[in-house]
Amino acid sequence: MKQIASATALALILAACSDQEPAAEPEADIATATPTASDDDSAVEDISAGDADAAMDAMERDDATDGSTANASARSEVQSIPAAFRGTWATSPENCSARSFYRVTVKDDRVNFFEDGGFASDIRVNGSALAVTYPFENPEGETENRVVYFARETEDRIRIRQGGGESQTYVACPDQ
pLDDT 10s digits, 22-47: 333 333 332 323 333 344 454 566 66
Domain count, the chain: 2
In this structure, are 48 and 90 located in the same domain?
yes
What is d(CA 59, CA 62) in angstroms, rounded to the nearest whole number? Answer: 5
**Is residue 138 located within the same domain as residue 75?**
yes
Q: Which residues contact 157 (CB under 8 A, 6 or more apart)?
A: 169, 170, 171, 172
* pLDDT over 60 (residue 9): no
Indicate whether this model's pTM tops 0.85: no
Residues spanned by the domain of 8? 1-30
Do 53 and 126 lie in a common domain?
yes
- Do 82 and 150 reside in the same domain of the chain? yes
Q: Are residues 93 and 11 in the same domain?
A: no
Q: Are residues 84 and 21 in the same domain?
A: no
Looking at the fold, whether 11 and 63 belong to one and the same domain comes out as no
pLDDT band (50, 70, 90) for residue 147: very high
Q: Are 152 and 160 in contact (CB under 8 A)?
A: no
Residue-wise pLDDT for 61-117, tens only, equals: 767 666 554 444 455 688 899 999 999 999 999 999 988 999 999 999 999 998 889
